[in-house]
Amino acid sequence: MVNFYKVVSYLRLLHETDKLPLIITDIYRIFVGKRIIEVVVFMKEGLNMEKSELNWPSEFQSALKGKCPRCRTGDMFEGPLLSLSSKKMKRVCPCCDLKFEKEPGYFYVAMYVSYVFVVAQLVTACVGTYILTKNLDSPWLYLIVAVGVTIILAPFNYRYSRIVLLYWMTPQFKFKPEWYKRCMERLG
Ligand SMILES: [Zn+2]
């Protein structure tokens, strides 16, 4: 028979040294005659997380919709991507009050992200133009395509460079399920 005490203390040791992501949910002490039996109820962290994550909006979807990275509920921008009126970004999240520009000038970093987007788009547009027209004589064609693509995709680049920056390059802005819950409660 397995020595129960040894198993429990081993699990505890693993848990304390973080080698096994276990959450100890309950510890019962049962007295059997003069002996005390300790029952440790635990669950694997991963399993538990997955279950509750099902109720949260996914990271990718929230980013795509321009939701706040911390609560995934509040909108980061005033209007939708294709709106002609306001493309402005909100200063703080309307749900969890996260200040999006975490320090003055932080969005300059988004310009580098935007730069990567623009280069990728220009290369794609120019290669696409060549494949479609086989034109290598007119530099004007490529110039017009490049300028056109840059102008048309500017709102996209503005928005998504900031989203990429806040979602994947700012570790402090990690998703907090508590905030999601609180925001959903607030919205009723
Ligand atoms: Zn928020």
Identity at 182, one-letter amino acid code? R
My answer on whether 8 and 86 are in the same domain is no
- How much distance in Å is there from the Cα of 37 to the middle of ligand 1? 46
- How much distance in Å is there from the Cα of 113 to the middle of ligand 1? 22
My answer on whether 93 and 183 are in the same domain is yes
My answer on whether 39 and 127 are in the same domain is no
> Taking Cα atoms as reference points, which of 120, 127, 124, 105 lies closest to residue 160?
120
- Burial of residue 21 (CB within 10 Å: 0-12, 13-18, 19+) is middle
What are the pLDDT digits (tens) for 54-66?
A: 578 999 999 999 9
My answer on whether 172 and 122 are in the same domain is yes
What are the pLDDT digits (tens) for 93-104?
A: 999 999 999 999
My answer on whether 179 and 124 are in the same domain is yes
My answer on whether 68 and 45 are in the same domain is no
Dihedral (Cα; 184, 63, 85, 121), 10-degree rounding: -170
91: containing domain = 55-187
Structural domain count of the chain: 2
My answer on whether 69 and 135 are in the same domain is yes
- How much distance in Å is there from the Cα of 99 to the middle of ligand 1? 9
- Burial of residue 111 (CB within 10 Å: 0-12, 13-18, 19+) is middle
My answer on whether 164 and 72 are in the same domain is yes
Per-residue pLDDT band at 11 (split at 50, 70, 90): low
My answer on whether 92 and 174 are in the same domain is yes
Per-residue pLDDT band at 20 (split at 50, 70, 90): low
My answer on whether 40 and 112 are in the same domain is no
- As a three-state string, the secondary structure of the chain is CCCHHHHHHHHHHHHHCCCCCEEEEEEEEEEECCEEEEEEEEEEHHHHHHHHHCCCCCHHHHHHHCECCCCCCCECECCCCCCCCCCCECCECCCCCCECCCCCCCCHHHHHHHHHHHHHHHHHHHHHHHHHHCCCCCHHHHHHHHHHHHHHCHHHHHHHHHHHHHHHCCHHHCCCHHHHHHHHHHHC
- How much distance in Å is there from the Cα of 27 to the middle of ligand 1? 36
- The least confident of 43-57, 122-136, 159-173 is 43-57
pLDDT the model gives residue 32: 73
Residue whose pair of structure tokens reads 């110039």 in the numeric block: 143
What are the pLDDT digits (tens) for 117-144?
A: 999 999 999 999 999 999 888 899 999 9
Question: How crowded is residue 57: how many other Cβ atoms within 10 Å of its Cβ?
Answer: 16
Our measurement of the distance from residue 76's CA atom to the centroid of its chain's CA atoms, rounded to an integer in Å, reads 13
Task: Using the predicted structure, report yes or no on whether residue 186 has a pLDDT greater than 90.
Answer: no
Non-local CB neighbours of 145 within 8 Å, separated by 6+ positions:
125, 126, 129
- How much distance in Å is there from the Cα of 21 to the middle of ligand 1? 28
My answer on whether 35 and 69 are in the same domain is no
